[in-house]
Amino acid sequence: MNYSWINQMQIPAGMNVDGIFGIAFIAILIGLLVMAAVLSPRQKAWWPMVVAASGLVIAAQMIESTQVKSILIDAAALLAVGLVWYETREKSKSAWLNYLVMIAAAILMIETGSALLRGESIEAGLGTNKLAFGLLIAGFCLKLAFMPLYFWLPDVAERANPLTSAFIISIVDIGAFLELFHLRSEAPFLFDGYSTIWLVIAILCMLGGAILALAQTNVKRMLAFSTIDDMGYLLIGLLAGSEVGLTGTLVAAICHAFFKLCLFGSVAAAEKFEGRELTLDGSHGLASRYPVSSTVFILSALGMIGVPPLLGFAGRWRLYLSGYEQGGFLLAATMALATGLALLYYVRVIHKVWLGQPVADAKNREPLNVKVILLVFVIAMLVFGLMPGWVTGLLAG
């Protein structure tokens, strides 16, 4: 087998991935900035760092060269680390330190793996190549917080400002995931030759992420585990490598980015004006104070698990089909089980934090610009969910 893949990046079957995600990232960045005008942390450095890191990710979508893309995404990840350090340095050392060490290690592993393969013909049985693929798999697991190397993400989500978490998950992480996506066509052996390992990682993400999310009482931490959970589904589509699987992965990744922005945005609005973190024990009936945020949270949570008619379904049914094609009924049922667990943890938050008897005065405290942004994004997800052909058609080029 001969896979000479570095510097010959191609997008599978004419898919217009970079263009669509470039637009998506710009929309998310605008949404973030508009919400941040009211909800942002006090630190002045937040704005330039977020704009710069997002700019790097957006620029990466416009550049052909794999190496440059990779460098830009890595730079964005390091800026995100810097932002987390800036925000949490006084509160929690572990959050930024773990994030820094793990992202640095991930970059090192991915670059080493790539260097070992660069310009070489890849022989399946060659020891160096096996090491290279191992480094790539472990590196991406660390970078994208896949199970079992997920440790930095829950801490960062819990300690950082919710909008910072939204920025990391919706822009930096999805940008990094696109790196992995491109490898699907450039280095198919990384997936086809190691499908068992990837499948185990995907199932661990889906089930492990969902089970651990169920155990959380801090809403932001729970959302971090839900990201890990969702990444498992994205991996299933990527692993399939078929058009259905890849389209499912891309649609699900877009949904992930937008819904996570909405989820963290809703939490940010409530936390800002409540003056405390949202937890399952300490908050109840917030929908009466934050009706738009709660509605958006509920719809985004349902969208995350693929409930129609939101756009998430257009990704999820393809991913289920890919799962069935790869692992038969058992894998499809496992995916459904994990989704069931996801429904349970989201429903817990919805009913313990947002709905129910309000604890105190029910005066609406949501700022107008936050309401507008959240509604625009969630309505867009609903409209695109009703007509997903608009999105999948654009992706197909």
> If binding is defined by CB under 8 A, does position 103 make contact with another protein?
no
> If binding is defined by CB under 8 A, does position 40 make contact with another protein?
no
What's the rounded Cα separation, in Å, for the pair 184 and 191? Answer: 7
Cβ-based nearer residue to another protein, 122 or 341: 341
Helix axes 389-396, 17-39, angle to 10 degrees: 130
> If binding is defined by CB under 8 A, does position 282 make contact with another protein?
no
**Site for another protein (CB under 8 A): which residue of 71, 307, 372, 382?**
307
Quote the least distance from Cβ 105 to another protein, whole Å: 7
* ∠ CA 134-139-145, rounded to 5°: 125
User: By CB under 8 A, what part of segment 363-392 binds another protein?
Assistant: 387-389, 392
What's the rounded Cα separation, in Å, for the pair 304 and 127? Answer: 40
Quote the least distance from Cβ 2 to another protein, whole Å: 19
* Cα torsion 385, 389, 392, 395: sign: negative
Beta carbons of 285 and 248 less than 8 angstroms apart? no
Cβ-based nearer residue to another protein, 59 or 386: 386
Q: 83 Cβ partners below 8 Å, 6+ apart? A: 45, 46, 49, 50, 53, 160, 164, 167
Q: 104 Cβ partners below 8 Å, 6+ apart? A: 78
342 membership: H or E segment, kind and range: helix 312-349
Q: 6 Cβ partners below 8 Å, 6+ apart? A: 66, 67, 114, 117, 118, 119, 186
Site stretch for another protein (CB under 8 A), options 33-41, 50-58, 93-101, 254-262: 93-101
- Write the interaction track for another protein spanning residues 247-276; mark x where CB under 8 A is met and - where it is not: x-----------------------------
- CA distances (Å), origin 180, targets 136, 188, 203: 9, 11, 18
> If binding is defined by CB under 8 A, does position 56 make contact with another protein?
no
**Site for another protein (CB under 8 A): which residue of 24, 110, 137, 223?**
137
SS3 218: strand
**Site for another protein (CB under 8 A): which residue of 321, 372, 375, 376?**
321
User: By CB under 8 A, what part of segment 322-341 binds another protein?
Assistant: 324-325, 329, 332-333, 336, 339-341
* ∠ CA 202-207-209, rounded to 5°: 90
DSSP 215: T
Q: 39 Cβ partners below 8 Å, 6+ apart? A: 162, 163, 265, 268, 269, 272, 367, 370
Quote the least distance from Cβ 50 to another protein, whole Å: 25
**Site for another protein (CB under 8 A): which residue of 138, 156, 166, 246?**
138
Binding residues for another protein, rule CB under 8 A, total 70
Cβ-based nearer residue to another protein, 28 or 298: 298
Task: Kindly list the residues in this chain that would bind another protein in the complex (CB under 8 A).
Answer: 94, 97-98, 101-102, 105, 109, 127, 130-131, 133-135, 137-138, 141-142, 148-149, 151-152, 154-155, 193-194, 196-197, 211-212, 214-216, 247, 285, 287-288, 302, 307-309, 313-314, 317, 320-321, 324-325, 329, 332-333, 336, 339-341, 343-344, 347, 350-351, 355-358, 362, 387-389, 392-393, 396
